Amino acid sequence: MTTPLRILYVDDDADIRTIVGLALSLDPAIEVRAAGSGTEALRTIDADPWRPDAIILDLMMPDMDGITLLAALRMRSGLGRTPTLFMTARGHDSDASRPELDDAIGVILKPFDPIELAGTVRRLIEAAPR
């Protein structure tokens, strides 16, 4: 049996949020809560005792980039060590190896294979150091 997994996904692109939500729902044990901005994600976390088992953040967002959002999330109770992945359309090797991303367990490049996304996310989370 697959372990239930709660994921917070933050991306400013509504179409990508929909695709990621559908792709992750291919694993029936994944529950996704999505937010369209860093501000919305922080409001959601602050207003609800629900805590994700993992976080997926778009790296480039207009109001608050993924790195800034991750720093703010790390300050919230219960999220200090939550495994985090970044998603980015900027597929340059230098983007995926930036020192600011060291706190993440991985980077998923856009475009991604929607059929493989849930498995990829689950593998990265399961392989993360505890």
The pLDDT, as a whole number, for residue 89 is 85
The pLDDT, as a whole number, for residue 91 is 61
Q: Is the pLDDT of residue 94 over 60?
A: no
When pLDDT is averaged across residues 85-108 and rounded to a whole number, the result is 74
Q: Is the pLDDT of residue 86 over 60?
A: yes
Distance CA 38, CA 121 (A): 21
Spatial CA neighbour of 69 closest among 53, 54, 87, 57 = 57
Distance CA 63, CA 2 (A): 36
Sign of CA dihedral 108, 110, 113, 115: positive
pLDDT tens-place string over residues 57-82? 999 999 999 999 999 999 999 999 99
The pLDDT, as a whole number, for residue 93 is 47
108 CB contacts (<8 Å, ≥6 apart)?
Answer: 56, 85, 86, 87, 88, 117, 120, 121
Would you tell me which CATH number, out of the four given (3.40.30.10, 3.40.50.2300, 2.40.50.100, 3.40.50.300), belongs to the domain 5-127?
3.40.50.2300
Distance CA 36, CA 93 (A): 26
